[in-house]
Amino acid sequence: MQRFHQSPTDPEFVQNPYPFYDRLCAAGDLAWWDDYAMPCAASHRAVHAILRDRRFGREVPPEMAPAIPDHLAPFYAVEAHSMLELEPPRHTRLRGLVLRAFTSRRIKALEPEITALTYEKIDAFPSDTPFDILTAFCQPIPVIVIARLLGVPDDMAPQLLRWSNAMVAMYQASRTRATEDAAAQAAAEFSDFLRRYIDTRRTDPRDDLITHLIAAEEEGEKLSTDELITTCILLLNAGHEATVHTLGNGIKTLLETGTDRIDENAVEEILRYDPPLHMFTRHAYEEVTIYGHTFQRGDQVALLLASANRDPDQWPEAHHFDTSRPVTQNTSFGGGLHFCVGAPLARLELQIALPILWDRCPKLRIAEPPVYANTYHFHGLERLMVQLD
């Protein structure tokens, strides 16, 4: 297995990680990334296979779980109930209960609200000066949609966004002690807010996701209050983070390539070409030999989702943005047991917001060079300054 060194916080890598992924892919299905001290799956076939291999999973084997520092206890109290970090049987139970409440019908019913919200945000664009479309459009739409889905007032959306940003920073390569302290505080405050909100919904039910999650709790299989809190936090954190980055990356790519037809194929190509999440790790649960490497129980492997999406063996001219290419399953939403439960909502938001934006703002242009944020393993813009001509 070839070894590679590449700091994930290196400015050149942050702005364009794809040349590094090309080198990894050329080395084979697995390569060793020194900076993460683990093998990485870079090819589409390896990422696709390991995502679905039940010998690997997200949950740390219990005998290998590290001690949790006191200052991070509030953060990991939330993580302890996250279906993103669990395996069967707990994962099966949690995911099943969430899907009973987070139905395709409920998601489809959000279409008029997403449409109206998109028009509202576009109507507020300044007409005579450059502006950051991330803060004007890409950030507020997903977080307000999730807030409404949960039944939380729109005016809480900025606070939800602050809590969410603080918590997801824990997964970034640039994480520091200050990041950890902010994440722990956000987790505690977010949990306290949701606990009060859940208590209110128990006595004053509404037609919102929290009420439906409580109803699922009361029908045989139960969600505890802590599980309800974590599930709501996960839906917001994962849901808004991915969609914000995908909207921003997509708008950048569409403007840079001069694409003027936005349909479902274009949305899928946006997801493939520049996805919001680049890496997901898995733990081996037994001795596994795959692609010439033997993993022992507890060993980790990094699955490079974005690298898999640019694999030339899967997509001809993989570095070319082509909205006419046949839709082939990409890895942007993961796969297997942990396939993103919010994927249908994210796709719906993209399929509504982007065509309306292009229809209403046909002369939208980039006003200054886009800059990606130093947030790996996420990949999203720090800002995207645009102007209406």
The domain segmentation of the chain, as residue ranges, is: 3-388
Amino acid at 78: V
Cβ neighbours around 194 below 10 Å, total? 23
In order of 39, 40, 47, 80, 249, the CA distances from 290 in angstroms are 11, 12, 12, 30, 34
236 touches 146 (CB < 8 A): yes
The whole model's pTM is what? 0.95
3-state helix, strand, coil in the chain (%, to 5): 55, 10, 35
User: What pLDDT does 218 receive?
Assistant: 52
Tell me how far apart the alpha carbons of residues 172 and 376 are, in angstroms, rounded to a whole number. Answer: 5
User: What pLDDT does 389 receive?
Assistant: 84
Q: Is 38 exposed, middle or buried (0-12, 13-18, 19+ CB in 10 A)?
A: middle
Beta-sheet pairing, 30-33 with 3-4: parallel
User: What pLDDT does 329 receive?
Assistant: 85
User: What pLDDT does 222 receive?
Assistant: 81
Task: State phi, psi for 256 to the nearest 5 degrees.
Answer: -65, -30
Structure tokens, 102: 């987070």
User: What pLDDT does 331 receive?
Assistant: 95
Amino acid at 290: I
User: What pLDDT does 219 receive?
Assistant: 55
Coil, helix or strand at residue 291: coil
In order of 28, 69, 95, 96, 149, the CA distances from 55 in angstroms are 21, 29, 19, 21, 35
> Domain 3-388: what homologous superfamily?
Cytochrome P450 (1.10.630.10)
Locate all alpha helices (DSSP H) within the chain, ordered by sequence: 11-15, 18-26, 44-51, 73-79, 90-101, 104-108, 111-123, 133, 140-150, 157-168, 177-203, 209-217, 225-257, 264-273, 305-308, 343-360
Amino acid at 72: L
User: What pLDDT does 217 receive?
Assistant: 59
- Positions of the chain with pLDDT under 50: none
Structure tokens, 133: 């479309």
Tell me how far apart the alpha carbons of residues 16 and 9 are, in angstroms, rounded to a whole number. Answer: 11
Tell me how far apart the alpha carbons of residues 90 and 60 are, in angstroms, rounded to a whole number. Answer: 14
Question: Residues 288-295: contacts with CB within 8 Å, 24+ apart?
Answer: 288/53, 288/55, 288/56, 290/30, 290/46, 290/49, 290/50, 290/53, 291/28, 291/29, 291/30, 291/41, 291/46, 292/1, 292/28, 292/29, 292/30, 293/1, 293/30, 293/39, 295/39, 295/56
